[in-house]
Structure 1
Amino acid sequence: MRNYHITTVWGIPIRVNISLLVFLPVLAWLIGSGAQIEFYAGIVGGLAGTELDLVRLQAGTTPWLVGTLAAVGLFVSVTLHELGHAWAAMRYDLEVESITLWILGGLASFKQMPREWNREFWIAVAGPITSVAVGAVCYAGVLALPASATVTLFVVGWLAVTNVLLAVFNMVPAFPMDGGRVLRALLARNRPYASATRIAARIGTAFAVLFAVFGALTFSPLLILLALFIYAAATGESRTVALSDLLDGLTVGDVARPVALTVEADASIEDLVDRMFADRSSEFTVTENGEVIGVVTIEDFRALSKAEREADTVADLMETDLPRMAADSPAFDALVELDTARASAALIEGPDGVHVVTRADFASAMEMRRLVGTSGPF
């Protein structure tokens, strides 16, 4: 879904997802509903040591004003929470790519997560600590505001309570929430990072199931959406770490294979099919004047109609928009780039010429690593 850039803090782009823009009016209505105002008015009144004027809070369009201010204040608080993570990451010289606000809160995207347990621990807890600090500042505001400032007092008091609840909820050990990352960091103190991730991910998926069941019983779509997010993110993180471990220490040049089977770009489709049968290969590197310019596979051929097969050449069929990478690039980074580009292969430029790497090459390398247990290149 589309994101909109709203500002930049410390060089970090702050973006708002369209899901949040759609949800904000709903959230404002939910907060400003009579039951919510009545419930929180008692809590805020207790914090302020005074009784809030419910009639004034619920009169006319005031509930909409209260709900809108509280909803916007909540996502300002979420932004500060994510900036807490970002500040801690930057203290360790880690690059923060962006912060995105969406329907379930905020996401700080890091170029690379640290594997040192202490770094991940402090980056993870920095967000909840920031939320508690924001809650404390809001509480100080509640004590400083006059009792006559009913609307402001309610909104600031609501934010004080909500920020503390935000910190507490984020510390639930449901990986990849903050509490789950803290759990992984503590597990990684005395076990391999991949093993710690698997354990934290399993606990995260267990919480996802609990959230889904509770969300279904209470008819809470947001809780069900959160459960789906936790499940997908936990399993995805576990898979990513496992792949990273299997490719650790390898460059893409170690994984890539030399260009052995080639076909000229101006060859006919009929020539290509003959070559596929003769060489028993479903994939060829395409060359033009001795230079590698693309890749063609049997899947590309299958997508052609009969008329196209008779009229087209390999140049019409091949995939040309392939990523180009240096041979000394880390293998895992190359796999991520290949997936991001949604390409079937990548061209690897090294001192001994251009090689080709496909997902099958990565799969073979990881399977060899898993079977042999070696930590070095092949």
Structure 2
Amino acid sequence: MNYTVLRVWGIPIRLNISLFVFLPILAWLIGSGEQLSVYATFINGVSPTAVDAAALEDSDRWLIGAAAAVGLFVSVTLHELGHAWAAMRYDIEVQSITLWILGGLASLARMPEEWSQEFWIAVAGPITSLLVGVGCLGALYVIPESATVVVFAIGLLAVMNIVLALFNMLPAFPMDGGRVLRALLARNRSYVSATRIAARAGIAFAIVFIFLGVVVAFSPILVLVALFIYVAATTESRTVVLGELLSGLSVADLLAESESVPADATVETVFDRLLRARRTDLAVVDETGAIVGAITASALRDVRPAAYDTTTVGELATRDLPRIDGETSAFDALYELRAGRTEVAFVERDGSPIGLVSTDDFTAVLDLRRDTVAF
């Protein structure tokens, strides 16, 4: 569940509910005495003003923890806005930015069409984080030494932003470094091949992170990051392959000449038609031949055998199926079916249904193109 909290450049900034649970935990982790001593070591390495964690009052510790936790996610927002700014420079719409337990996600309306576009969009986030980190370092030179809490908080944000930039540049797809790797690989090989290599690198890093998070130093956050990278890398690889296999096809291209069944036909006569058409669904037409619904095998299963010769298809037909324009790309149509959690939809032209498309149609086309298209 996400909540929109503000808009920047017209882009909704959303907070995932997981963030409301994680922020207090992060503030507690940062504000604990042992952690502050570790952070102080890093801060003193970059700050012109030395800070002493042991001298902080208890109230100061929790104030620093809360400020650093919120500041970190403000930094993540700026990081994602860096991606968004670069994407908009290439006329790519940014639909939203979502902050969640593992960071932020900028959702683009479409993927970059050229390797150079993906490269600059990917590096824009880490560059933004570096600039924020450098800005915080610069602030340390003007903040009074007596303002210990402020020095500590700003120094911590400087370190966090620099680490954020460097960590994101690891070539672990789909992190920024992994997308940079794919962009560079795509200069002289197919996009699918580049994605596969980058995804394998991401999976390798995920395995390493799991080992580090479980065996070397117990870190649930690192394990969560590893699982996210593994799932996202494999999903992205499959999505790109699907897009390549379905490229150049509209959903209307998937429609085959198949039988339809009149609304007044009985269930008894439909089974043979489904078997002959080798489908699990058929269009239902009225007396004028216009498509008015669909009959599916799952609907037929609910009919008792004794009622086969008295129940008509029109009584069982589904009439509120999703509608997809015939000119829609096959890939987008498949996405709509999955998003709607349905296996069949009307394909229409000029507002009138011209046929049915189902996941079985996509499976058949994918099987055919997988055997004939070389990547």
TM-score (structure 1 length as normaliser): 0.91
CA RMSD of aligned residues (A): 2.5
Q: Could you tell me whether the CA contact under 8 Å between 1:258 and 1:355 is conserved in 2?
A: no
State the partner residue of 1:82.
80
State the partner residue of 2:363.
363
* Identity among equivalent pairs (%): 54
Equivalent positions of 1:313-352 (< 5 A) are: 314-315=313-314, 317-350=316-349
Q: Could you tell me whether the CA contact under 8 Å between 1:263 and 1:284 is conserved in 2?
A: no
- Structure 1 pair 320/88, CA: closer, same or farther in 2 (3 Å)? same
Letter in 2 for 1:146: P
- Out of 223-232 and 293-302, give the one that drifted further: 293-302
Q: Could you tell me whether the CA contact under 8 Å between 1:172 and 1:178 is conserved in 2?
A: yes
Unaligned runs of 5+ residues in structure 2 are none
Per-residue CA distance 1:210-267 (angstroms, 9 max, x = gap): 1112111122111111111111111111111111111111111111224522241x65
State the partner residue of 2:230.
231
The CA distance in 2 between the partners of 1:232 and 1:309, in whole Å, is 47
Q: Could you tell me whether the CA contact under 8 Å between 2:115 and 2:183 is conserved in 1?
A: yes
Q: Secondary structure at the match of 1:257?
A: coil
The CA distance in 1 between the partners of 2:238 and 2:332, in whole Å, is 15
Q: Could you tell me whether the CA contact under 8 Å between 1:142 and 1:157 is conserved in 2?
A: yes
| Deviation, structure 1 residue 139 | 0.6
State the partner residue of 2:372.
372
Q: Could you tell me whether the CA contact under 8 Å between 1:115 and 1:193 is conserved in 2?
A: no
| Deviation, structure 1 residue 160 | 0.3
The CA distance in 1 between the partners of 2:281 and 2:169, in whole Å, is 49
Equivalent positions of 1:203-242 (< 5 A) are: 203-217=201-215, 218-242=217-241
- Structure 1 pair 61/244, CA: closer, same or farther in 2 (3 Å)? same
Q: 1:110 aligns with which of 92, 108, 119?
A: 108
Q: Secondary structure at the match of 1:156?
A: helix
Per-residue CA distance 1:316-354 (angstroms, 9 max, x = gap): 644433222222221111111121111211212237961
Per-residue CA distance 1:31-64 (angstroms, 9 max, x = gap): 001011112223323433333243442x232221
The CA distance in 2 between the partners of 1:35 and 1:269, in whole Å, is 73
Q: Could you tell me whether the CA contact under 8 Å between 1:259 and 1:356 is conserved in 2?
A: no
State the partner residue of 2:8.
9
Q: Could you tell me whether the CA contact under 8 Å between 2:291 and 2:353 is conserved in 1?
A: no
The CA distance in 2 between the partners of 1:308 and 1:235, in whole Å, is 48
State the partner residue of 2:99.
101
The CA distance in 2 between the partners of 1:276 and 1:100, in whole Å, is 45
- In the alignment, is residue 68 of structure 1 matched against residue 66 of structure 2? yes
- Structure 1 pair 141/272, CA: closer, same or farther in 2 (3 Å)? same
The CA distance in 1 between the partners of 2:278 and 2:184, in whole Å, is 51
The CA distance in 2 between the partners of 1:368 and 1:207, in whole Å, is 34
The CA distance in 2 between the partners of 1:172 and 1:369, in whole Å, is 34
The CA distance in 2 between the partners of 1:130 and 1:118, in whole Å, is 18
State the partner residue of 1:36.
35
The CA distance in 2 between the partners of 1:3 and 1:157, in whole Å, is 31
The CA distance in 1 between the partners of 2:83 and 2:340, in whole Å, is 29
State the partner residue of 1:144.
142
State the partner residue of 1:52.
51
- In the alignment, is residue 284 of structure 1 matched against residue 282 of structure 2? yes
Equivalent positions of 1:19-34 (< 5 A) are: 19-34=18-33
Unaligned runs of 5+ residues in structure 1 are none
The CA distance in 1 between the partners of 2:374 and 2:103, in whole Å, is 42
The CA distance in 1 between the partners of 2:163 and 2:303, in whole Å, is 60
| Deviation, structure 1 residue 292 | 1.9
Q: Secondary structure at the match of 1:144?
A: coil
| Deviation, structure 1 residue 184 | 0.3
| Deviation, structure 1 residue 312 | 7.0
Count of paired positions: 371
Q: Secondary structure at the match of 1:242?
A: helix
Q: Secondary structure at the match of 2:13?
A: strand
Q: Could you tell me whether the CA contact under 8 Å between 2:344 and 2:359 is conserved in 1?
A: yes
